[in-house]
Amino acid sequence: MVHDLAVCAPLHDEDLLELEHLKTRESFSTGDTIFQEGCPREKIYTIVSGAVRLVKTLNDGRRCITGFAFAGDFLGFIESGNHILTAEAVTPVHVCSFDRKMIEAYLREHSEVRDRVLDMAKNALQRSYENQLILSRLSPVEKVARFLYDLIGRMEDNRLKASPLTLAMNRTDIADHLGLTIETVSRCFSKLKVQGIIKLISANQVEIVDKMMLKQTAAITGEVE
């Protein structure tokens, strides 16, 4: 399944074998740092399983979680010489890692894979723009609703379980991602529950009772299902 989602999706068997020789399998425990902001970008990664948070540290030490990555997503492709973010394992994470110089040489020879990388980079950039909208214009409950709605779409696109929705990240991660306090995030979840939009099965499992109402609450308009 991950092959179908990741950069190797366009490859035939013989090309896959060549790529297989370039990769190294790595595993990270919950809380481990996969790569650090400011460090040289020596590898790129495709996530096989697990969830990763992408963190930007501000000058005063506060952290901003710019996004999350899941199975099928890549890390480190679109950065320049040094990493601009820190990648941390939210859950146990398994990845395929590639030496940056070797994979870049490989991409120059395989246009179909290079095009796949560009498509994935465009999707990541689009999510980044949408996150800017969420942080700048939406109310707290709209932010949380949008976060849940977008996460459902990510899970479905990556062929992961979206019903009920399992939140790999905790309330603190969500708060640092949306620019809210933990208390505000909890109140927003409770409000969505009272409105009958979601059902809280457990602390990290959410059942979406009314997806259309969730979409409306998230202030999403003019989008085709």
Residue 64, helix vs strand vs coil: strand
Dihedral sign for Cα 114, 115, 117, 121, please: positive
Each residue's pLDDT tens digit, 70-96: 988 888 876 678 898 999 999 999 998
Chunk the chain into consecutive blocks of 10 residues (it has 225) and report each block's average pLDDT, rounded to whole numbers: 47 60 90 94 90 92 89 79 92 92 82 75 72 77 93 83 88 94 96 96 92 90 48
- Bridge partners of 93? 28
Q: Which two tokens stand for residue 41?
A: 């970008």
pLDDT at 5: 42
- pLDDT per residue as tens digits for the range 113-147: 777 777 777 777 776 777 676 677 889 999 999 99
The pTM (predicted TM-score) of the whole model is: 0.82
- The pLDDT value recorded for residue 3 is 43
Give the per-residue pLDDT at 134: 66
Please name each of the domains of the chain with its CATH number: 2-131 (2.60.120.10), 138-217 (1.10.10.10)
